[in-house]
Amino acid sequence: MKNLSIPQLLKNQLYILINLQSIIFFCLVGLLSQCTPKDVQKEGCASHTDDGTVDYTGPNQKVISDILLAARPWRIASCKGATDYQYPNTFGNGCVRDSYVDAAIKAAWAVEYQWRTGQKDLAISNAAVVRQNLDYADALCSNRDLPTACSNCECGTIKIYPCNGKTGSGSGTFIETTIVKFTNPAFTPITVTVNGTSQVVEVGSTVTFQGQAGTSLKYHAETSGKTTQGTQIGLLISWDGDDIYPTSGTKTFNLSVSQDFFFLYIVNQSSRKTTKLLVNYGLQAQTTDNINIPNDKIKYRTGYYRAYSNSNIRLEGENNAIWNLSSSDLKLPNTQNQSYTFTVQ
C-alpha cells in the first residue's frame, strides 16, 4: 500500500477525532449513579475488577481479548458509577496509526467494563467500534515501513497490535491474516461469496475479504441483467474458485466476463416500444426475454448472451413491428467484457 498523502492524513485525523468522541461517549454511558459497598452483589456491579482475564464473549471476542491482555495494567470499575477504575495506558508515540490502535484499546476496555456490569447489548454494539478502529489501523500499514509522523521511529502500539494484519494473542504469538480482493469490470453488480460470507461488488468497484494466511478460500460469484422487478434478463454468469489466502500481501481476483459472452444495450429511437427480445434467434442457444424498451432514446441495459460468429438479435414490438440485426451487422470484438449497443430505428 502506498504511503498516505497529506490530504489523506488530514482525513484520517478527522476519523480519529470522531472515533475518540464516540469512545468518550460510550465509556461514560451508564456512569450516572454511584454504587455503595452494599450494591456490589446487585445487577450493574462487576464480579471482579482485575486484568488477569477477559470475560467478554461476543463479536470480535478474540481481538478484544488479545489487545486487552497485551495492554495491561488496567482495572474495571467495581460497579456502574464507581470511580475505582484504571484505563489502559496510551501506547502511541506519534504515528498516525497509533491513534487508531489506542482508540481501539480504550474501546475494548469499555466493552469489558460493560460486559462485566451487565450491559451486554451495549458491549456487543461497541465491539464493532474496536474492529472499525483496527481496520483503520490496518489500512495504514505498508509493506515497507509504518506510516509515522516522525523519522526513524517505530509506532508505539506495534507491540500491542502489529502491522500487516497480525493480531496479537496476548501470549507473544500472532496469527497473520491477509486480504483477497474482487474487482468488477463487468456491466452489472456481482454478488461474491467467500467461505459463506457474501458481498455485492458494484460495477467498477472492489470488495475485500480477510482471512488467516494460507487457509482455504472457496468463492462463488454470479451476476446477470435484471428488470426493475428483479427478474433475470439473459444468461446467468458465474465464477467459482478453490484457492488459499495469500501467505503475505494481497491477492486480487478480476471477475471478467469471458469472450464467450457479450452484454447487450438497447436504444429505442423508433416510434414504438419493443416487447420481446430474442438473441441468437433461430439458433440452438436462442434466448427469449419478454421485456419492454420504451421509445425514449435512452440507453437501457439488458443482459448477457452467448457470443458466436453467427450471433444475431431480433426485437419484436407494438403493432407486430420487427427489427432484426444480422450476424454480419453484429460485429463483436471477441474480447473479455465485450458489449454491443443495438440502436432501434
Cell of 44: 450493574
Model confidence at 203, pLDDT cuts 50, 70, 90, reads very high
Q: Residue 307 pLDDT more than 90?
A: yes
Core vs surface per residue 32-60: b (16+ CB within 10 A) or e: eeebeeebeeeebbbeebebeebebeeeb
Q: Is 93 left (phi over 0), alpha (psi -120 to 50) or beta?
A: alpha
Among residues 104, 100, 95, the alpha carbon closest in space to that of 156 is found at: 95
Residues 235 and 287: beta-carbon distance below 8 Å: yes
Residues 254 and 192: beta-carbon distance below 8 Å: no
- pTM of the shown model: 0.54
Distances (CA, A) of 59 to 23, 98, 137, 281: 18, 23, 19, 53
pLDDT tens digit string along 45-103?
998 999 999 999 989 999 999 999 999 999 999 988 889 999 999 988 877 888 889 99
pLDDT tens digit string along 271-294?
999 999 999 999 999 999 999 999
Place of cell 432501434: 344
